[in-house]
Structure 1
Amino acid sequence: MVAMPAQSRKMRGEDPLPALDPILEDDTVDSSVATRRQLVKRLADVICIPSSQLTPQERHMAGDVLVELLRDADIELREGVAKRIVMLNEAPRTILVILAKDDIRVAKHILENSLSLTDSDLIQISKTVSSEHRKVIAHRRKLSDSVVDSLVQFLEDDVVTVLLKNMGASFSETALQRILTISRNETHFIPLLNRREELRPSHGLTMFWWADGPTRKKILARFGVSRSVLQESCADLFPRAAADGWQDAGVRKALQFVERRQRNRAAIARNEHGGLEQVIEAAAENGLDPHLTEEISYMSGVKPATGAQILTDEGGEGIAVLCKSTGLKREMVEKLWAALRRPAMDEAGEVHPSLRRVIEAYDSISTDKAQTVLRYWNWSLTSSLNKDVLRYIRDGVIPREEEHGAAAITAALVFGHRR
């Protein structure tokens, strides 16, 4: 069966076939080439016939023959066919896949626009084509998480950038974790990651540590939330856990995250300086040493590893979170800054931009939300620090979440980061 001429189709009141690319109509070439082109044209015509007039079997047979002809055809002819069949819902997938793996000039029409390609097709194609092909796939209006996984595994900068900007792409935990890991050095991914709806607190509050100032502000605004529902839900469990002597380490760590009170009264009671403010004043006068860092950490209700991460962070916004969550006044932010021996004034006699940014972070977050962030940091950075995770950190390896949990990944990413 061959396609009916367009004129006879119009006489029968039927829609004309899509117009062919002019290259397929050019008969001013060598006779054998012209014959091939005409045959390709006729086969393409057959493939384009509506399903009401053509059986699927005949369409696929025509497609099989067309595939063989296209293997040795010139690029203009292949591109012409790609343009012709790209919008057909019933185009044989075999020919679509072959054209999708072709030269990018041909493949781009299929890869970006064809609705007939399945997720399986796109995954299989992405593994055998160039970065330029994968970038075109990344532009598709809709991409499932399985296709995104396949594209992200190559960690190609331009492809990942397009995917993160594509709001029609769906990201799995695996893909986000891959990008989060490389964002430690490829920091231009951080603002793009922070715009993704799929981003979890574990992602955002982890990449905080290598984000710039403006992005840190957005991360704190997004993930600094109230824990009121958690607190109300678990309120009756605190006295029960206390009656048990806090024997279950997992319960103890989880309830420490939920607890309303931030300062550690026991640590304050045994401190030689008297209180948290007094320790910070001593540090401002004499400088912050490891002993004072530990004391500030314990009194603030966090582990020394968490306190050290906050107090040695170059950006300083973590100091704002620490001070706000523990009820310290703004002047204590400045005293901690002085304890770190960081400049408070610039050459013009104005507040140093870095200190100003930290004070703005302090002013912009509520005590309750700051406590959420601080407690999440403490839980995620220290709750999974067993010997296996410490070995991963030492070796620069990221543990698997299904084996060690999200907190272990956070600890490995943060403590294993080398600027």
Structure 2
Amino acid sequence: MAGLSIDQKSDLPPVAPIVLDASLKDVDDNAVRRQLAKRLADVICIPASQLTPQERHMAGDVLVELLRSADADIRESVAKRLVMLNEAPRTILVILAKDEIRIARYILEESRSLTDSDLIQISRKVSGAHRAVIAKRRKVSDAVVDALVEFLEEDVVEALLKNREANFSETAIQRILTVSRNHQPYVGLLAKRDELRPSHGLTMFWWASTENRKKILHRFAVTRSVLQESCSDLFPKAAADGWSDAGVRKALQFIERRQRNRAAIARSEFEGLEEAINTAEIHGLTRKLTEEISYMAGIKPATGAQILTDKGGEAIAILCKAPGLKREYIEKLWRALKRPLHDLDGSIHPSLARVMETYDVISTDKAQTVLRYWNWSLTASLNADVLRYIKNGVIPREEEFGAAAITAALVFSHRD
């Protein structure tokens, strides 16, 4: 039988070429990739007694490269696997911590292998959702808190303030305190923090809500008995020197027991503080009367003006209680300020009732502490430089000008 020539056509049907389904190929590749990622993660998780650090890091290096092109499900499975491992290579953890939030969450919430340096670096390169998770970690150092607070994201800051194991530096507290002037939730949360100092709390009072003012006064309206006892012998010595040292004079004025200024009363055209307030009730509160009342009450006119223009009014209760004015003088000042005494139904106006309640619940000694602190903090550092900061709406640095300067700038530059 003659063979077929190369040019002749066969009667056999043509054979179709074998083509692999691309989707099946992808499935196979993903299956292998998933298994390889799992094996590498398993190797990394082997106890230190059974695996050298060198081999662990080699496995980590291979896994890092694999994860760069792996799908989200594989990356998530690796994150779940490595999160509780103390010896997990930090390079992998940092990569996963910067991943999309559903993957990063596992690392950011639980990993104890991430250092403060890692968390600071991560926080500056991720989304607000990532930072919110970091803020809820079991322990957050002050350095990490500083980095998170830089962004001033409300949910992140509030999460930090609610986190009892987050540590706040003075820098972070001051930053949050400043923005709390326009965000009331921060005030209530700050008032609960152990890091909050009297300078912070009694400064926040000026823009705090009614409920937050109660919390602040309850916490920071304290007696000064220890201060008074420890410094009692210095008053006659300073007086003998003619109060020539301004710093000593301001400090002892804060500590002193007696609230009313006898020298100011002796110089005044009024017989006393009560007569000045009676006059204001009849004729209205003028600038001159404000100055007279302030001086006789033992405070500077700037402090007195701040108190008497306080919209909430609780500060007026402090002004009356500290120098021993009777309760009726709150109503007299209220009338002098032309504020409503009664509601439409004839009952005492809620604002005045609230101020009366503040007067009733605070002791004279504690009211003196608050009033003296306000006077010291609002006026002790009012020099030309600080006034320039206030005019420009800038908060001065505490290390350069002191806490009083910051209080004055925050309060006097605040606008409702």
TM-score, reference length from structure 2: 0.93
**Is 1:215 aligned to 2:207, yes or no?**
no
Query: Which residue does 1:276 correspond to in 2?
Result: 273
1:307, CA displacement in angstroms?
Answer: 0.3
1:165, CA displacement in angstroms?
Answer: 0.7
1:214, CA displacement in angstroms?
Answer: 1.2
Query: Which residue does 1:286 correspond to in 2?
Result: 283
SS of the residue aligned with 1:30?
A: helix
Alignment of 1:360-371 (within 5 A): 360-371=357-368
Find the aligned partners of 1:226 and 1:95 in 2 and give their Cα distance. Answer: 55
Partner AA of 2:388 in structure 1: R
Aligned counterpart in structure 2 of residue 326 of structure 1, from 323, 328, 336: 323
Find the aligned partners of 1:332 and 1:285 in 2 and give their Cα distance. Answer: 13
Find the aligned partners of 1:281 and 1:388 in 2 and give their Cα distance. Answer: 38
1:42, CA displacement in angstroms?
Answer: 1.1
How many residue pairs end up in the alignment? 393
SS of the residue aligned with 1:247?
A: coil
Find the aligned partners of 1:28 and 1:378 in 2 and give their Cα distance. Answer: 78
Query: Which residue does 1:103 correspond to in 2?
Result: 100
Find the aligned partners of 2:210 and 2:281 in 1 and give their Cα distance. Answer: 24
Partner AA of 1:364 in structure 2: V
Query: Which residue does 1:143 correspond to in 2?
Result: 140
Partner AA of 2:376 in structure 1: W
1:323, CA displacement in angstroms?
Answer: 0.6
Partner AA of 1:222 in structure 2: R
Query: Which residue does 2:77 correspond to in 1?
Result: 80
Alignment of 1:18-417 (within 5 A): 30-417=27-414
Find the aligned partners of 1:155 and 1:212 in 2 and give their Cα distance. Answer: 21
1:33, CA displacement in angstroms?
Answer: 2.0
SS of the residue aligned with 1:129?
A: coil
Partner AA of 1:68 in structure 2: E
Find the aligned partners of 2:62 and 2:413 in 1 and give their Cα distance. Answer: 57
SS of the residue aligned with 1:262?
A: coil
Partner AA of 1:89 in structure 2: N
SS of the residue aligned with 1:263?
A: coil
1:32, CA displacement in angstroms?
Answer: 1.9
Partner AA of 2:306 in structure 1: Q
Partner AA of 2:76 in structure 1: E
Find the aligned partners of 1:108 and 1:28 in 2 and give their Cα distance. Answer: 31
Partner AA of 1:131 in structure 2: G
Partner AA of 1:199 in structure 2: L
SS of the residue aligned with 2:48?
A: coil
**Gapped regions of structure 1 (runs ≥ 5):** 1-26
Find the aligned partners of 1:111 and 1:125 in 2 and give their Cα distance. Answer: 9
Query: Which residue does 1:15 correspond to in 2?
Result: none
1:29, CA displacement in angstroms?
Answer: 5.8
Task: Give the root-mean-square deviation of aligned CA atoms.
Answer: 1.0
Find the aligned partners of 1:218 and 1:40 in 2 and give their Cα distance. Answer: 54
Larger radius of gyration: 2
Query: Which residue does 1:13 correspond to in 2?
Result: none
Find the aligned partners of 1:281 and 1:43 in 2 and give their Cα distance. Answer: 85
Find the aligned partners of 2:338 and 2:319 in 1 and give their Cα distance. Answer: 18
CA offsets per residue over residues 66-112 of structure 1, 9 Å max, x none? 00000011011100100010011111111000100011111000001
1:28, CA displacement in angstroms?
Answer: 10
Find the aligned partners of 1:363 and 1:60 in 2 and give their Cα distance. Answer: 68
Query: Which residue does 2:19 correspond to in 1?
Result: none
Partner AA of 1:50 in structure 2: P
TM-score, reference length from structure 1: 0.93
1:324, CA displacement in angstroms?
Answer: 0.5
Query: Which residue does 1:3 correspond to in 2?
Result: none
Task: Report sequence identity in percent.
Answer: 74
Find the aligned partners of 1:178 and 1:196 in 2 and give their Cα distance. Answer: 15
1:39, CA displacement in angstroms?
Answer: 1.2
Partner AA of 1:153 in structure 2: E
Find the aligned partners of 2:376 and 2:215 in 1 and give their Cα distance. Answer: 21
1:190, CA displacement in angstroms?
Answer: 0.6
SS of the residue aligned with 1:188?
A: helix
1:408, CA displacement in angstroms?
Answer: 0.3
SS of the residue aligned with 1:345?
A: coil
CA offsets per residue over residues 369-408 of structure 1, 9 Å max, x none? 0000000000000000010000000000000000000000
